[in-house]
A and B are shown apart, each in its own frame.
Chain A
Amino acid sequence: MDELVCIVCPRGCTMHIEEKDGAYVVSGNSCKRGEQFAVSEMTAPMRTICSTVRTDFPEAPVLPVRVSADIPKDRIFDVMREINHTVVKERVRRGDAVIQNVLGLGVDVIATSDMLYTGEGR
C-alpha cells in the first residue's frame, strides 16, 4: 500500500492506494478528483508547470507562461528547455500560445498575463 498527499486542492488529503485484482483502491480522499489523482500518480504522474519566457520588450523582460494542460512529470525539464529557448517578439494576450504543441505533447505553452498587450510595464 502506498501513501501519498493529494495536490489537487489546498486541502492536501493524505491518501492510501492499493492495487487489488488489477484495479486501484483509494482511501483517505475527500473527493473524486483525489481518487483520480492517486490512480494517475501510480500509472502516469502528470504535472502543470509555470515559468516565464524572455521578451523583446524592455518594459517587461519576461512574460509569465504555463502549460495549457498537465504534462507527464518526467518531461518537466524537457519542456523547461523549450520554454527557455523561446523569445516573445509580439504583444501576445493572456491565453495566447507562445509555443504550440510543445514537444508534441498535445499541449501549448500559453501566456498567463495581458501585460505585453496592455503595454503596462513592470
Chain B
Amino acid sequence: MRTFDTVVIGGGPAGLAAAIAAHENGANTLLIEREARLGGILKQCIHDGFGLVRFGEKLSGPEYAERFIDAFHKADIPAMTLTFVTRIVPAQGGGFHVTLVSRDGVETIEAKTLVLSTGCRERTAKQVSIHGTRPAGVFTAGTAQHLTNLLGELPTKRCVILGSGDIGLIMARRLTLEGAKVLGVYEAKPTPSGLTRNIHQCLHDYDIPLYLSHTVTRVFGDDRLTAVEIAEVDDKMQPLAGTEQIIECDALILSVGLIPENELAESLGVEIDPKTKGPLCNGQLMTSVDGVFSCGNALHVNDLVDYVSESGECAGKNAALYVRKKRQEIPINATKMLSYIVPQRLDLDADNRETVLYFRSRDILNNCTFKMRIDGNEVFSKKYPFLRPPEMERLTVDFSKYPLDASSKIEFDIEVKANG
C-alpha cells in the first residue's frame, strides 16, 4: 500500500495551497482531484477581481489558479486527477485508509493526515421549492457559467435570475456581454446577497434591474422553459397573493446560495457547525477528528479566494506538522450579532499567537465595534465603519496574550452605537 504523510482531497485553490504548504513543511504529500484539470471552480470563473488581497493585482480566476498550479508543479508534488475518493476509514494505530477510483482502477492508500478541500455545492431548484413542470432551461448559475465559459455554449437568449449571490450577478453581466437579455435579478430577501461592488459593476453598469423581496413561484414549459411566475414576498419571505406576474423567458438561472460539501468529512464523524455547514475547527483548522483538517469553501463559504488560499495554507501546514496528542479545547463563542465565526474552537496546547478569525455579521451594521470578551471582560475591540453579511471579515488575534485555561469563556460580539 502506498503511504503518504498528508493526502489533500480537492485540487481547487484551497487544496493547491494546502498541498504546497504541506510539502514545504516536510510532508510527503499527494493531491487528489476528481476533474481532469487542477484549479477547481476558478477554471470557469473567467472574470477578474481575484488576488487583490494576496497579489495586489486584479486577476481572472484561471490566472489566479494557475499561479498556484505553477508553484505546485514546480515543487514536484504528486497529483492524481480524474480520481474520486470513495471511502475513508481510520487505520489501526492512527492515520487513514483512503480508497480511490481512477482510470487505473481502485486503489487504497494510507495517509497520516488528511486535508479536506472539497469546496462547496450550489443549492438547486429543489431546495428552494419552485412549483411547476420540469422543463429544460433551469440552471444553477455555476452550470450556466460552465456552459458559457468552458464549453462556449450560451445557455439562454432571454432569462430571469433568481437570487443575488455573487455568481448570479457575475453571470448576469457575462450573459449580457454575450448578447443574452437578462430581464432581471430577483431576490427574496430585502437586501442583496452578493458583494456591493458586484451589484454595481455587474447590474448597474448594464442596466439590469434588481428586484428585492421578490421570488420565482412557478415555472412553465413542457420541453423547454417558456415563462416564470414572479411574486413579491412579505417579511417572512412568503409570496403575497395578487402580486404575481408572468415573465416570458427561456431560462431561469438560480443563484440561491452555496453549501459546503462535507460528505467525506461526515463519513469520518467530523462534527459540523450548523451555522457554517462546515466542520467545527480549531485555530489550526483541525476538525473534531484527530488528523483531519478542513479549509476553503468546505470549511465555510468564502467570498474572496484570497482567504480560501490562506485557510488552505494553514490547514496544509498544520497537517504536515501534526503530532498525535491530546487536545485541550475550549469553544470560541459568538453572540447572535454574528452569523458565524471560524474557527469555533481554540486548542490551549497549540500555538495560537497568530490565529486568523473569519466572521460575518448577521445584519447590515454601521459604526460598530467588534469585541472579544474573556469571562465577560472586554480584552480586545476593533471599530468597523460598516459590516455587511455578504462581506466576510478577517482578522488576526494573538490568543497567547491572554491567560486562558479550560474554564475560560471566550465570546465575540458586535456592538452598535445607539445613535450612530
Contacts and interface: CB of A to CB of B under 8 A. Distances in A.
A9 B52 contact: yes
Interface in B19-71: 36-37, 43, 46-49, 52-53, 58-63, 66
A10 B66 contact: no
Interface of A: 4-7, 9-12, 14, 47-52, 54, 61-62, 64-66, 73, 76-77, 80, 84, 94, 112-115, 120-122
Interface string B391-405: 100000000000000
Nearest to A73: B205
A5 B200 contact: yes
Among B52, B66, B197, B303, the most chain A Cβ lie within 10 Å of the Cβ of B197
Nearest to A14: B196
B47 A61 contact: no
20 contacts: A4-B200, A5-B196, A5-B197, A10-B49, A10-B391, A11-B391, A14-B196, A47-B205, A49-B177, A51-B46, A61-B152, A62-B151, A64-B61, A64-B62, A94-B63, A112-B62, A120-B37, A121-B36, A121-B37, A122-B151
Contacts of B66: 94, 113-114
10 A-B pairs with the lowest CB-CB distances in the bound complex, closest first: A12-B196, A62-B152, A113-B62, A64-B46, A112-B60, A12-B197, A7-B197, A61-B152, A7-B201, A5-B200
B370 to A, nearest CB: 16
Interface of B: 36-37, 43, 46-49, 52-53, 58-63, 66, 148-152, 174, 177-178, 195-197, 199-201, 205, 303-304, 391
A72 B222 CA distance: 43
Contacts of A112: 46, 59-60, 62-63
Contacts of B149: 52, 62, 64
A65 B174 CA distance: 13
Contacts of A7: 197, 200-201
Among B61, B63, B201, the most chain A Cβ lie within 10 Å of the Cβ of B63
A48 B58 contact: yes
B11 to A, nearest CB: 12
B299 to A, nearest CB: 19
B102 to A, nearest CB: 16
Contact of B152 (A14, A48, A54, A115): A54
A113 B63 contact: yes
Contacts of A61: 151-152
Nearest to A48: B48
B58 A10 contact: no
Contacts of B205: 47, 73
A80 B174 CA distance: 11
B48 A66 contact: yes
Contact of B195 (A12, A50, A113, A115): A12
A120 B36 contact: yes
A91 B172 CA distance: 30
